[in-house]
């Protein structure tokens, strides 16, 4: 793979960088892109409109669906420049833009694309993902939420859990069991669910950091029209795997992680002369920081690999799992390194705390990264079986 930009790609990178620097809301010093996003919602909505006018809300989507028709490498360049310049991204739309939308483009009907894609691009519709269940997480194909055909509708009963943004979502991409007698991978159907449908109940779940992202969702005789089936009845697993590949390709940002390590380096340098500094009491932390910086470069190389494959028309499978596995575990290692370097200060909240207390929240949240999108154990199995051709257990 050629790591250098082509002349066209270099020109595009320059265009994106200049556009961001002149048009994007400016984060405050030490503020992350997510904090900037939530802190000035109105200004960011104007920013998203500017991105939308250039087709840059979903850059690699085909132009006929509202994207810019970019190559995968151009979208990678766009994402990299957005991260490098800490430009706010429409994070509340990530499941729609990054997972549901691309899946509909591959597997959806023309009517579904015309009905659902515009709302994603406009930022009017928030989506959630109805995959995991209380007894079906890593073994997703064992799911039990039931869908029974009744005329032009399907009637849904069951439960989903760890459903990110379900309390805010307009729509859900939903996996159900439609043939309980078929082998578990072959009796699953994939739906689009309007979250306002009668019989849908959402209950909050709070993570270790006491923030409300996750939910459990209950379905009591919920009716979904047959036109909302993605792909074919009983063959939803194949579309679901497409969604998982898109999800695993996008979890974790090498650039964002590198910025976090750089922030820790700045903190360490600023407190190097402090006699109580952890770097004085534990000189090995210097090597720990060096390890984290090197690992962010490894994550970047894995990202390049996935982007290169997508640019050649290939769908990364175990390659996406490799990226997901390494990036999410690296997120945890960076958060642990932050706690080591900050010492007792890492337990503080508030504006006076290092990073305004963000590192404590990051540390507590990091446990979820290696679970969502498929656990690390699942990713290792995929790599072993599909990448290394090892036998199943």
291 and 190 within one domain: no
> Looking at per-residue confidence, does 134 or 373 come out higher?
134
* Mean per-residue pLDDT over the chain, rounded: 87
Report yes or no on 107 lying in a domain.
no
> Looking at per-residue confidence, does 127 or 42 come out higher?
127
Q: What's residue 59's pLDDT?
A: 82
273 and 222 within one domain: no
pLDDT in tens, 213-234: 899 999 999 999 999 999 999 9
227 and 270 within one domain: no
Instruction: Check which CATH number belongs to the domain holding 156 and give it.
Output: 2.40.110.10
Residues of the chain above pLDDT 70, percent: 92
Domain edge (last residue) among 62, 89, 116: 89
Identified catalytic residue from 213, 247, 295, 372: 247
Report yes or no on 241 lying in a domain.
no
Q: What's residue 49's pLDDT?
A: 81
220 and 133 within one domain: yes
Q: What's residue 22's pLDDT?
A: 92
Report yes or no on 392 lying in a domain.
no
pLDDT in tens, 14-36: 999 999 999 988 766 655 544 55
pLDDT in tens, 193-212: 999 999 999 999 988 777 88
142 and 16 within one domain: no
87, two tokens: 């430009």
337 and 267 within one domain: yes
pLDDT in tens, 256-313: 899 899 999 998 888 877 877 777 778 888 899 999 999 999 999 998 888 888 778 7
Residue-number span of the structural domain to which 302 is assigned = 251-387
Q: Quote the pTM value.
A: 0.80
168, two tokens: 């805010």
184 and 66 within one domain: no
In this prediction, residue 92 has a pLDDT band, given cuts at 50, 70 and 90, of low
> Looking at per-residue confidence, does 186 or 40 come out higher?
186
pLDDT in tens, 339-355: 999 988 888 888 888 88
Report yes or no on 113 lying in a domain.
no
Report yes or no on 212 lying in a domain.
yes
Q: Whole-angstrom Cα distance, residue 392 to residue 112?
A: 38
Q: Are residues 363 and 339 in contact, defined by beta-carbon separation less than 8 angstroms?
A: yes
Report yes or no on 229 lying in a domain.
yes
Whether 248 shows a pLDDT value over 70: the answer reads no
Q: What's residue 252's pLDDT?
A: 45
Q: Are residues 163 and 215 in contact, defined by beta-carbon separation less than 8 angstroms?
A: yes
272 and 200 within one domain: no
Instruction: Check which CATH number belongs to the domain holding 264 and give it.
Output: 1.20.140.10
Q: What's residue 158's pLDDT?
A: 97
323 and 195 within one domain: no
Report yes or no on 1 lying in a domain.
no
Q: Are residues 165 and 92 in contact, defined by beta-carbon separation less than 8 angstroms?
A: yes
Residue with tokens 């691009």: 121
SS3 28: coil
Give Cα 65 distance to the centre of its chain. 21
Q: How far is CA 116 from CA 38, 128, 144, 165, 194, in A?
A: 25, 13, 27, 18, 11
215 and 262 within one domain: no
Residue with tokens 């969502």: 372
Q: Are residues 161 and 145 in contact, defined by beta-carbon separation less than 8 angstroms?
A: no
| Overall domain count for the chain | 3
Q: What's residue 28's pLDDT?
A: 61
Annotation says 216 is catalytic: no
Whether 37 shows a pLDDT value over 50: the answer reads no
121, two tokens: 């691009």
Whether 241 shows a pLDDT value over 90: the answer reads no
Give Cα 343 distance to the centre of its chain. 30
Strand partners, 189: 176
Residue with tokens 């420049």: 81
293 and 209 within one domain: no
Domain edge (last residue) among 203, 235, 267: 235
Domain edge (last residue) among 176, 205, 235: 235
Report yes or no on 157 lying in a domain.
yes
138 and 40 within one domain: no
């Amino acid at each position: 793979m050629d790591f250098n930009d082509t002349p066209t790609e270099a020109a595009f990178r320059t265009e994106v960088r200049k556009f961001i620097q002149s048009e994007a809301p400016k984060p405050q010093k030490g503020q992350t892109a997510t904090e900037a996003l939530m802190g000035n919602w109105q200004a960011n909505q104007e920013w998203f409109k500017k991105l939308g006018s250039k087709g840059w809300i979903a850059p690699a989507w085909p132009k006929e669906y509202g994207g810019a028709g970019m190559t995968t490498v151009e979208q990678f360049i766009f994402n990299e420049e957005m991260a490098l310049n800490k430009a706010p991204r429409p994070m509340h739309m990530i499941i729609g833009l990054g997972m549901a939308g691309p899946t509909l483009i591959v597997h959806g009907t023309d009517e579904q694309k015309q009905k659902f894609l515009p709302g994603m691009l406009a930022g009017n519709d928030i989506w959630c993902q109805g995959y995991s269940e209380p007894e079906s997480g890593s073994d997703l194909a064992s799911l039990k939420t039931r869908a029974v055909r009744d005329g032009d509708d399907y009637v849904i009963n069951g439960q989903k859990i760890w459903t990110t943004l379900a309390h805010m979502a307009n729509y859900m991409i939903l996996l159900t069991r439609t043939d309980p007698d078929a082998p578990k991978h072959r009796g699953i159907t994939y739906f689009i669910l309007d979250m306002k449908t009668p019989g849908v109940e959402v209950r909050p779940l709070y993570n270790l950091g006491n923030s409300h992202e996750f939910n459990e969702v209950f379905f009591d005789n919920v009716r979904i029209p047959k036109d909302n089936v993605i792909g074919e009845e009983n063959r939803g697993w194949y579309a679901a795997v497409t969604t998982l590949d898109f999800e695993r390709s996008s979890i974790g940002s090498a650039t964002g992680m590198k910025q976090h390590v750089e922030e820790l380096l700045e903190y360490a340098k600023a407190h190097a002369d402090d006699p109580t500094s952890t770097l004085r009491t534990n000189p090995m932390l210097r090597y720990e920081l060096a390890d984290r910086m090197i690992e962010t470069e490894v994550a970047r190389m894995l990202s390049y690999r996935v982007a290169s494959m997508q640019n050649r028309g290939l769908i990364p499978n175990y390659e996406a799992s490799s990226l997901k596995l390494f990036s999410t575990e690296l997120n945890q290692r960076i958060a642990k390194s932050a706690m080591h370097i900050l010492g007792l200060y890492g337990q503080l909240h508030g504006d006076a705390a290092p990073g305004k207390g963000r590192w404590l929240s990051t540390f507590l949240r990091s446990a979820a990264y290696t679970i969502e999108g498929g656990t690390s154990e699942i990713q290792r199995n995929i790599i072993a079986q599909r990448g290394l051709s090892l036998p199943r257990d």
